[in-house]
Amino acid sequence: MQCPEDLRYSKEHEWIRVADGIGTIGITDFAQQELGDVVFVELPAIGTEVSPGQAFGVVESVKAVSDIFAPVAGTVTEINERLAAEPELLNQDPFGESWLVRVRLSEPGQVDGLMDADGYRAYIQRTQD
């Protein structure tokens, strides 16, 4: 299971990469493995305000329909349009081409409350035992 060191992770299995006050959010490798083959992704409109723990989208797979939760507060500035036509990108490249949304952080300090890669690996291990 991949778990890049430069990201922060939520207990709901989302990741965030922050640069210049903008957070790029996606779902983790663990999440896409648990979901199985992704067949549909629903994302919010640009301008949508999100808060930590709030569902802002949906991922549908052959196994389940799962909400996507915001790890931080902010305003959606961009959505990954490719996922509408290529939802399978979430399975193929969870940390690269399949990012979900970009948000302008309203409270950048919230990122510090998320898990680092080691913490996320330990969290997954605890939930698997």
Query: Does 103 reside within a domain?
Result: yes
Total number of domains in the chain = 1
Q: Is residue 32 part of a domain?
A: yes
Three-state DSSP state, 122: helix
Alpha-carbon distance of 16 to 24, in angstroms, equals 5
Domain assignment present for residue 44? The answer is yes
Query: Whole-angstrom Cα distance, residue 28 to residue 99?
Result: 10
- The CATH number covering residue 99 comes to 2.40.50.100
Torsion sign, CA atoms 34, 98, 100, 115: positive
Per the domain annotation, does 114 fall within a domain? yes
CA distance 17 to 85: 24
In a domain, 3, yes or no: no
Q: Is residue 47 part of a domain?
A: yes
pLDDT higher than 90, residue 1: no
Residues of the domain holding 120: 8-128
**53-77: pLDDT as tens digits:** 999 999 999 999 999 999 999 999 9
pLDDT at residue 129, rounded to an integer:
77
